[in-house]
Every structure is written in C-alpha cells, then in structure tokens.
Amino acid sequence: MKTSGEGPARGEAPSPDLLPGTLDLIVLRTLTVLGPQHAYGIAARIEQVAEGALRLNQGTLYPALVRLEQKGWIKGAWKTTENNREAKYYAVTKAGSRALAEEAAWWQRSASLVNRLLTHEGE
Amino acid sequence: MGGLRRLGARLLRVLRPGLGEDDLSREIAAHLALLEDEHRRRGLPPDEARRAARLALGGVERTKELHRAARSIPWLEDTRRDVQHAVRRLTVDRGLATTVVLTIGIAIGAATAVFSVVDAVLLRPLPYREPNRLVVVWEGDDPSRRPQAAPVNYRLLADHNQAFTSLAALAELGATLDAGGGPEKIVGRRVTAGFFDLLGVTPAAGRGFTAADDVPGAPRVVIISHELWRGRFGGDPAILGRNLRLDGERVQVVGIMPARFQFLGAKVELWVPIAMTQEQWTRGSNYLTIVGRLKPDVSVDLARSTIEDLRRRLEPTLPHAADGFRLTPVLLHEDLARDARRPLVLMLGGIAAVLLIGCANVAGLLLARAGVREPEMALRASLGATHGRLLRQLVTESLVLCGLGLAVGLAIARLTLAVLAQLVPPTMVRFAAPAIDGRALAVAAAVSLGCGLLFGVAPALHLAARGLGRGLAGSARVVGSAGARRGALVIAEVALTLVLLVVAGLLVQTVYQLRYANVGYEPSRVLSLRMVLRMEEYRTHAQRTAFYDAVLERVGRLPGVTAAAFTTGVPLAWKGATTGVDIEGRTPPPGVEWDANFRLVSGGYHQALGTPLRRGRYLADTDRVGTPSVVVVNEAMAHQFWPGLDPVGRRMRISDNAYSDWMTVVGVVGDVRQMGLDLPVASELYVPYRQYPGQPWFAPRDLVIRAADPLALVAAVTREIHAVDAGLAVSDARLLDDLLDEEVAARRLGTAVLVGFAAFAALLVVVGIHGIVSYYVVQHTPEIGVRVALGAGSRDIVRLVAGRGLWLAGVGVVLGGVGAVAAARFVRSLLYGVGDDDPATFAVAAAVLVAVSLAASYVPARRAARLDPVTALRR
C-alpha cells in the first residue's frame, strides 16, 4: 500500500480515478448548482472545483450525459451561448432532482460509514 | 425506475443506431469550438488552439465511440448488424440460400413430425393414473398376439393375487344399439365393476359402476363414451338416466366418460357391467382381457414370476390340466406400442440419416462458399476485424440460414403431421394425438441451432486453419483443402443414402408381398357386409337357414352379382375360430391335440372370394341336411394331416362339440391369409352351414358378394336383407380390397415415408455431387485447358470429370453397403416375403445411386469439355 496521496497507480494517469458511478452523480450535482449548462461548461466547472486534483478527458463526460438523459434525469436542448455560439444545454429534470437527493444521501451515508471504519481506533 | 427506462432507450438505439448520431456530431463540434475559443483567449495561435481543444476532449472518434457504447448495447447492435449483413449476403447468393434453407427445412420438418409421433406414441405417459404400473395379462407364454384369457384363470389369479393392488377383466361386446334412429352396430366392452377405478379414470358425468351393478340380474346400466354422446346424442346432458335399447333390452345410461378416453380397443363406445354368474366364471374358453395395477414395489418381471409360482402350486389341483393356468403380464404401454415401436424407431433412424445427409450437403456448400469468401474475409481481417468477430459473422450467417430453415421446417411438419398421425396405433388414436407442441418445437429449435453452429463453425475453422492473411492473394487454386473435406462429406452422403434406399426397397417389397402377392384369393370387386342374427329370434338351425337362403336368393337376383355367400367371417375381419379335429385312421402323437381353423360357409363361398380349387370340388348349395356330410380343406390342412396323400374321399370329424358325424373331404382349396397377412396359414376347414346345426352364437354373419360394381349394390343389398328381416342391423359394408388396404395401411404409410426419405436423400446426393464436380472443374480449369490444348477430346474430358464423381459415389456405395447390411438385419422382423440379404435390392439400390451420381456429374463434365483452352489457360 502506498502512503503517498497519489492513490492506486494505474498506467500513466496520475490523477485519481473516479469511483464507478460517481461521475454521473457529479454531473448531476454540477448541473443543479449551475443551472442549465453545456458539456464544455460542465467539464470546466468540474475541473475548477476539483482544483486540478481531477483531470478528465472531456470526452468521457458524454457517456455520463447519455446515461443521465436515458434515465430521464436530465434533458438537453440547443441554445446559443453568450458568445453567440450554439451548444446543447442540459438541465436537471424533476426526476433528476429527486434522484440526486437520494443518491447524494446514499453516498454520504456510505462515505461516512467507510470513513468511520477507516478511522476507528479500536479498543 | 431510471434503469428500466434507460434499458428501453438503449434497446431502441439497437434497432435504430443512426438516431442521434447527427446531434452528437454537432454537439462535439460545438464543444470543440468552445474549447478552441477558450484556448485562443489564453493566447494560443489558432492552430495550437485547435490541437489543444482536441487533446482536452480526448479525440473526436473516441468520444463518439464512448457515446455510442453508452447509448446503445454494443454487442446487440453488432449482432443486429451481423444479421443484416447475413441477410444481404444471402439475397446475393439466392440460389445457395434457397438450397440450404430447403434442405434444412425439409429435414427439420420431417424430423419434427416424426418426433411428435414418437413422442405421442412412445414417450408421453398414458392418460391413466400412474400408468407405468398398469399391466395387461394375456393367456399363454407369447403375448405378442394378445391371446385372451379364460374366466377361470382370471378368478384363480384374482383369488390368489399377490402382485397387484387390483385386477379387472373386460370382454368384447358387439351390440346393436337402437336409440330411435334404427338399429346400429356398436362396439362395447363388458367390464368388471372395478375397471374404471383401476385405471383411475372417472366418468366426466354421472357415475361409474358399483359392485351392485356387476351382479347377474341387476338392473342393466351402461356408460357411454364422450364421442358417442356427442355424435349420437348431440351432447345432450339429459341422456343421463335415460334408457337405451341395447340388443333389444332396456339399459339405463348412468355415466359419460371424459373425451378421448380409450382403453385397448379401437372404437369402443360403451361399457356395461360384465355381471357373470359363478358358473360363467369357471369357464375355460378364452375371451377375457385382464388388466391389473402392480403394487408400488412390484415390477412386471416380479409379477410374472409370482404368477409362475402360482401356476406351479395350482396346476396339480386344477380339473383340466390341458389348458392350464398360464398367464403373462405385460406393461400396458409396451403392449399398446408394441407394433408401432419398431417402425417408429426405424423412421427415427431414417430421419436421422436424412438430417445427417442434409447437414453434410449444407456443410459442403458452405465450405465451398468459405473458399470463395476467403479474399473477403482476409480484407476484413486486414481492416481490423478480429478472428472472433469474423467467426461471429459466419456463425450468424449460418444461424440465419437455419432460422429460415426452421420456419420452413415447422410449416412442413404441420402439413405432414396429419399424414404421419396415421402411424399412431388404432388403440391409442383417441388420446395420443401428435402435435407440434412445446416439446416438438424445442426439438426442432435445438436441431436447427445445432446445425447453425455446426455450419458456421466449420467454415470458420477452415478459414482460421488457412490463415486469413494469405487469402488476399487468393485465386481459385488457393482454396484446395476445402475440396478434400467436401469429398469426404459426399462419400458419407452416398453411403447413408444407400442404406436408406436398401431399407426402403426391402419394405416396398414387403408391402407388395403382403398386399398383392400372397393373400390367396381375388379381393377385387368383392363386397362384404356384416349382420348378426339375434339369438332369441333365430334359435333353431332351420330358422337361420331359412334367413340365409332367402337373402342369398334375393341378392343373387340383383343385376351384376356373379356369386354371393355367407360365412362366419371374411378373412382378416374376423380372425377365425379353431376346433379340435379327428382324422380317420390317424391318431395324434401323445400330448398333442389336433386342431384347425373352422368356418361355416354357404356353397359358392370360394367362388365369391375367388379361392382357387386345387383338388376335388367346391362346396355346393346341394350339400344340405340329408345329403352325405362333406367338408373342404385348405392346402395347409392337406399337408398337415394327409402328407403326400390325396385327401379327397378321406374322412374327418369335429371333436369339440356334440357334432361328430364323419365328414368326407370333397375338395382342397388354396391357402387364404385369414389371421393376418404376415402370419403363416394354419390348417383350415370349410363346413357347409346347411349340414351343421352348430350354435346360434357361431352362425354365419358376413355376406360376401362378387359383382361387377359391388359398391353400387350396397343400398340394394341392404334393402333385400331388410325385406327378409327389417330389424336387422347391417354394418361394415366394404370391399375386401379396402380391408386389405386397411390391414397394410400403417406399413404402407411407414414405407412411403421411408421411400420419401430415400428419394430426398438421393436428391441431396445429386446436389452434393453436382456441387463437388463443378467445383473440381473450376479448380482444374487450367489443367483441363492444357489437356485440351494437348489434344484431349471432349469425351476424354467428360470421362476425367465424371470419373471424379463416379469415384466418390463408388467409395460411398462400398461403405454404405456395409451399413446397409446391418440396417437390413435390424429391420428383419418388419420384412415379409423378402430376405434381409436380398441381393436384387442391394444391386438395384447401388445401381440407382451410381446412375444418379453419373447424371449429377455429367452436367459439369459437359461444361468442362466445352471449355475454350485459351481462356482456360489464361486463368
């Protein structure tokens, strides 16, 4: 087990991998905070919030967007940006907000459980 | 919830993969534009900015691929694409696809139909409670002819029973039913009270029999079949409790059996209690069918040995040890299916051979195509398709073929099933109806799936073995190794086809021998009708004789009638009675009782039937009471009792009954197959009924009429009979030809099916040999060109090419000959009048195959002979 903060080393990618399923949740959360946003905007926001701790190929956002859209949690629509370019803006649906609340709660519970188990001192 | 919704969306994308693709391109373009803007804002030159944008996105194509994978189900989409591709290819190769689909379809169709008959007859349980514990118990040691048991033996078995939880007995009942629409003959059974309980079948309406019904003198009751109820009484529920007239007596309907109930009889429509007296139960004549339910832990073999023990214990105490207590239990299902089992197994073997031949043929065709497709496959491999991907493509193609074959096959199975259903024994027809049900579908699907995988994998392995890379350089010559495999396949086809042809040939001769060569009389243009005189009204011999004389007199006057006579039974319809005989001047060896078949007939019987006279004279109407007692015997009897002598003028008598006048043999007639077409003819005597008082229950009842157009006479004959006795039921009007056809119907059908299989197999051989020889021509075109250029004539070329086909056929015939010998031995018990080693059959079958192979190779051989050497050499 490495003790440095790099996480498990896998190939050349130095950045931490996301746990499976978490990207969808992060996208959903980002859209909830920002309001309707296009894929580039979402990617920029995630990189900004992660403060460089997470570097992602922006293309990998697309599968997450497809999954969320197919589940009916977000909805895409073509609009123009402030720079007068056209882009597809995604917005969270009602089902999406509900799902986010449930999933986020579940994540927090699990995370705190894992945290407790990892930090428990023992008698 | 979201998960389910997503699955739906993904499945939709499998079906319509293009949907959203444009949107995605636009979205990615927009994304790149935004990224590019951003990078330019940071001061990168335009080129750099574009590059950086693509880098940040991680590649346009890769992104699209990720998107597709997420929005659809990739493997399913690939499969859909494979299927599409396969269908496209098959529409291009339309001839090949049609051949393959028809081959597989016909084979699968026939296999499915045969399977469903086998399933109905041999595999499915009988419709009784715990049917595998039901046995029938026949008299004697040989149950194959189902000899019925004596009441006394039933009583003994029931009284000392150890092996059965219960036993019941049935006797036949031919009754005249009058339900208001005139007298009608009906087949019924007299049964002991526990019969229905033993089977575990209760009437669908009303009640079963009780012990109180099964007593002599009890009020008469009857249970009718569902089929009689629907057909005769219109399904009227009020029939319960009503009275019918059965043989002139009032009987009350107390029950209706469930639909399709049937037990051991062909057309049994009603059941009455057997209600025998104590005295009747002690009788020794054989007319009972015994059915038993084995105790749970008793096998049929154990039951057999307990009966054997019982026999050893009882026999010393029995009054007449001559008949003895000999009974043989047989499992009911085994007994019912006995006659059908071997033909059905044979048919299964036949269809298996056809399937194998069909598979060999299709595999050959697909191998050839695999050769042709090597360049295509190599191209796809070099463009990045993996081996697995190509294998999948090939398997998908063959599965598509087999799927189509399955569809064709099920249609064929459905069409042929009605015909094949006639192979179900008459004693099972009501409940064992073959159907294309789940089981048959499963078998059909499994077979076609197996074929599909086999055909797909074989060419794929062939390609893999050849190495895909080299195929690109391909020419016709490169694909050589497929040729050797196809040769082996064609040899196998020829061999299996020879086996089928030999077996079919032997069976065809058997049917011919049975039906035409050997019956012993002239069955065409002979009509027979049955009428059973009621004992109460025809108590005396004089009354009966008066009836017969009056009817014969009237019928003889009808136009076109050349001969008419009464008999106790026409051949086959009634298997005959036997009687003990004394031969004057001879005594049987100790322990042997002489007996012979026995018929009461009127003069003219042999003329009506067309039995040839060998010696002396036929019986005549002048042989009556007051003239010397005479008898006519058949050749078998002459040989048995007067070997090497002329029986005419010698005397014999019947030793069974009170009648014991010596009768003089006045004639010898040819042997007639009475008991069954494939049974040896027994000794038989024909006694003029006018001279033989006999018993009312053994009086002639079949009228035979030889006439120019006998079927046109039925109405007139019935009218004449009713003019003599208006209340007499006349039934079973039919031609003796039809009776014979009926007797061989199942065999003829089974034979026809096998002939069909053999013909189809021969057709496949034509396709197979034509294919391989054509292929040989393509492969050897340059060589043929050289030969022609060097002066070979077209006959040499034909000989060279056709020789190739002939060589394969020859090897196949030799190998198949070995198989055919074994197969013929297996069917020996089904043969009659032809040996299983009949050389003519083998020779003809081999000749047919060689001729067929020659014809199939001649066409490509001609084509080869017409090759222009210049073009041929340039290839």
CB-based contacts of B595, cutoff 8 Å, min separation 6: B578, B579, B580, B581, B683
| Cβ within 8 Å, pair B27-A39 | yes
End-to-end CA distance of chain A: 24
Among residues B145, B141, B140, B136, the alpha carbon closest in space to that of B263 is found at B136
Partner-chain contact B6 A62, CB within 8 Å = no
- Can you give the pLDDT at residue B464? 67
- What gap in Å lies between CA B736 and CA B740, rounded to an integer? 6
Q: For residues B42-49, give the mean pLDDT.
A: 87
Does the pLDDT at position B574 exceed 50?
A: yes
Scan residues 403-462 of B and list those with Cβ closer than 8 Å to A: none
Nearest Cα residue to B206 out of B248, B255, B271, B269: B255
How many angstroms separate the CA atoms of B79 and B75, rounded? 6
pLDDT band of residue B509 (cuts 50, 70, 90) is very high
Mark which residues 27-46 of B lie under 8 Å from A by CB.
27-28, 30-31, 33-35, 37-38
- Model confidence at B603: pLDDT above 80: yes
Look at A87 and B10 and tell me if their CB atoms are within 8 Å. Answer: no
Say if residue B632's pLDDT is above 90.
yes
- Are the C-beta atoms of residues B125 and B132 closer than 8 Å to each other? yes
In chain B, what percentage of residues exceed pLDDT 90?
33
pLDDT confidence of B472, banded at 50, 70, 90?
A: very low
A3 shares contact with chain B (CB less than 8 Å) = no
| Residue contact A81–B6, C-beta within 8 A | no
Q: Between A123 and B312, whose confidence is greater?
A: B312
DSSP run (H or E) holding B245: strand B243-246
What's the whole-number mean pLDDT along residues B412-438? Answer: 86
pLDDT at B467: 59
- Contact state of A71 with B31 under an 8 Å Cβ cutoff: no
Q: Does B27 sit within 8 Å of A85, measured CB to CB?
A: no
* Rounded CA separation B772/B861 (Å): 11
Smallest Cβ–Cβ distance between B6 and the set A60, A64, A70 belongs to A70
B742-752 tens-digit pLDDT: 888 888 888 99
Nearest to A60 among B9, B37, B66 (CB): B66
As to burial, measured by CB atoms within 10 angstroms (0-12 exposed, 13-18 middle, 19+ buried), residue A121 is: exposed
Q: Give me chain B's average pLDDT, please.
A: 85
Q: Do A38 and B3 touch (CB under 8 A)?
A: no
d(CA B117, CA B95): 33
CA distance B609 to B528: 10
pLDDT band at B719 (very low <50, low <70, confident <90, very high): very high
CA proximity to B392, closest of B380, B382, B383: B380
**Residue B67 sits at the chain A interface (C-beta within 8 Å):** yes
Residue of A12, A27, A62 to mutate, testing the B interface (most B Cβ within 10 Å of its Cβ): A62
Q: Which of A40, A67, A83 has its CB closest to that of B31?
A: A40
Instruction: Name the residue facing B30 among A59, A62, A88 (closest C-beta).
Output: A88
Mutate to test the interface with B, among A58, A68, A78, A83 (most CBs of B within 10 A): A58
Model pLDDT, residue B315: 77
- Residues from chain B contacting residue A99 (CB–CB below 8 Å): 2
Between CA B505 and CA B846 the distance in angstroms is 11
Q: How far is B56 from chain A (nearest CA, A)?
A: 6
Measured distance CA(B280)–CA(B216) in Å, rounded? 11
Report residues of chain A scoring pLDDT below 50: 1-15
Is residue B707 pLDDT above 90, yes or no?
Answer: yes
Checking if the pLDDT of B5 tops 90, the result is no
- The alpha carbon of residue B28 is apart from the nearest alpha carbon of chain A, in Å, by 9
Using one digit for the tens of pLDDT, what is the confidence trace for B242-293? Answer: 988 888 788 999 999 999 999 988 788 999 999 898 888 887 777 889 999 9
Within 8 A of A83 by CB-CB distance, chain B residues are: 37
Mean per-residue pLDDT for B380-405?
A: 80
Q: What is the 3-state secondary structure of B276-339?
A: CCHHHHCCCCCCEEEEEEECCCCCHHHHHHHHHHHHHHHHHHCCCCCCCCCEEEEEHHHHHHHH
When pLDDT is averaged across residues B526-537 and rounded to a whole number, the result is 87
H helix count then E strand count, chain A:
4, 3
Closest CA to B93 of B442, B372, B285, B321: B372
Least confident residue range of A71-80, B362-371, B418-427, B686-695: B362-371
Cβ–Cβ below 8 Å for B30 and A83 = no
pLDDT tens string B187-196? 899 999 999 9
What is the average per-residue pLDDT within B57-69?
Answer: 81
Other CB atoms within 10 Å distance of the CB of residue B554: 17
The span from the CA of B481 to the CA of B474, in Å, is: 13
CB–CB contact B70 A99 (8 Å): no
Residues 26-65 of A with CB under 8 A from B: 38-41, 44, 57-60, 62-64
Is A86 in Cβ contact with B70 (below 8 Å)? no
Per-residue confidence (pLDDT) for residue B656, from 0 to 100: 66
**In angstroms, rounded to a whole number, what is the distance separating the alpha carbons of residues B600 and B617?**
17
Q: Which CATH class is domain A22-117?
A: mainly alpha
* Among B74-78, B261-265, B524-528, the least confident range: B74-78
3-state secondary structure of A121: coil
Q: CA B145 from chain center: how many Å?
A: 20
CB of A84 within 8 Å of a chain B CB? The answer is: no
Q: Chain B: residue nearest A98 by CA?
A: B2
Q: Burial letters for B693-727: b for 16+ Cβ neighbours within 10 Å, e otherwise?
A: ebebeebbbbbbbbbeebeebeeebeebbeebbee
Domain extents in chain A: 22-117
Least confident of B64-73, B311-320, B593-602: B311-320
- Return the residue matching tokens 């080869």: B864
**B761, B819 contact by CB (below 8 A):** no
Which residue matches tokens 């059974």?
B189
Asked whether residue B166 carries a pLDDT value surpassing 90, the answer given is yes
Flag if A66 and B5 touch (Cβ within 8 Å). Answer: no
Instruction: Give the 3-state secondary structure of residue B223.
Output: strand
DSSP state of B527: E
Token reading at B454? 């086999």
| ipTM reported for the complex, 2 dp | 0.79
pLDDT value at residue A86:
86
State the average pLDDT over residues B635-652.
92
8 Å CB contact of B63 and A62? yes
Of A40, A59, A71, the CB nearest to B5: A71
Q: How far is Cα B226 from Cα B205, in angstroms, rounded to an integer?
A: 10
What's residue B468's pLDDT? 53
A95 touching B (Cβ < 8 Å): yes
Which of A23, A25, A38, A40 is the best mutation test for B, with the most CBs of B within 10 A?
Answer: A40
pLDDT of residue A9: 36
Find chain A residues with C-beta within 8 A of B19's C-beta.
none
Go through B561-579 and write b for each residue having 16 or more CB atoms within 10 A of its CB, e for each that does not.
Answer: bebbbbbbbbbbbbebeeb
Report whether B637 contacts B685 (CB < 8 A): yes
